[in-house]
Amino acid sequence: SSADRYAVFGHPIAHSKSPIIHTLFAEQTGERLTYTAQDVPPETFETEVRAFFAGGGKGLNCTVPLKELAWKIADHRSQRAELSRAVNTLALRPDGTIYGDNTDGIGLVRDLTVNLGLTLKGLRILLLGAGGASRGVIKPLLEHGPAHLVIANRTPEKAFQLADEFGDLGLIKGCGFSDLGTESFDLILNATAASLAGEVPALPKNILQTGGYCYDLAYGSEPTPFVLWGRDAGAAVSVDGLGMLVEQAAEAFQIWRGIRPETRPVIDALKSREHPC
């Protein structure tokens, strides 16, 4: 029989490292599959998803700007997909229905705690941005018992709303970027949509606790502007979301194939591709 087919849909998609990640996972686990990237604009998303599965495709990842549409197209969803109201992983079930999950939040927390070795308990965390990327990571972060979580957004109302929605889960509040400055944080996470266009919110440097951590949920082959900001602000660790990308992929791979690949060798391989010596 031929290899099972998987793909990532996004718009744009050329930058995606998902095909190489899943190809490395398949080699490592001995699973036979192909994984490609396809540029799919929102207008044709539903048609392309149906065509992919009708043509024998087994699973999809969906990235910007398709995650809310992927949520809508799913016939069943995990609890974490419901909470984030976004889906990055679709799987075709044997009965022909589509299952939707969101592996981004668990991917972030695994990268922070397992790969970077951070203890989130007791940390003062600042989350920049109140869009889809933030929504998916709030619950997994709160489950690790931070001292508190502040969500800051250019439009403060969106941050208030998000804080309100997750309010019963712990100490969480929303504010505008301009309200920041009186308090410092141990961990700053950048989940703004503007960062995809290379923009960083204007933050006071002393907002980062000396020796604190900066983490950009976006990834790129160059250090992102936020990663550079963190280094400049004296962060002990300032990294992009490559580790999160590999971890969310491992979780998707497990949903599809029932086997969990090791992430460390794949993260190392991707890093050495970026900085060949």
Q: Enumerate binding residues for ligand SKM (CB under 6 A).
A: 8, 16, 18, 61, 63, 88, 104, 245, 248
Whole-angstrom CA distances from 144 to 122, 123, 125, 151 are 9, 9, 11, 16
Cβ atoms of 7 and 60 closer than 8 Å: yes
CB of 88 to ligand SKM, least distance (A): 4
Task: Just list the catalytic residues.
Answer: 67
- Cα–Cα distances (Å) from 115 to 7, 20, 107, 139, 214, in that order, read 26, 20, 11, 20, 14
With 0-12 CB in 10 A as exposed, 13-18 as middle and 19+ as buried, what is 237? Answer: middle
Of 61 and 192, the one with the shorter C-beta distance to ligand SKM is 61
Helices (H) and strands (E) in the chain, counts: 10, 12
- Residue 1 CB, nearest approach to ligand SKM (Å): 26
Radius of gyration of the chain (CA): 18
Closest CA to 248 of 93, 118, 80, 123: 80
Q: How far is the CB of 267 from ligand SKM (least distance, A)?
A: 15
Choose between 192 and 248: whose C-beta lies nearer to ligand SKM: 248
Structure token digits, residue 39: 């540029």
CB of 63 or CB of 209, closer to ligand SKM: 63
Compare residues 132 and 212 and give the one whose CB is closer to ligand SKM.
132
Residue 205: count of CB within 10 angstroms of its CB: 9
Shortest distance, position 219 Cβ to ligand SKM, whole Å: 7
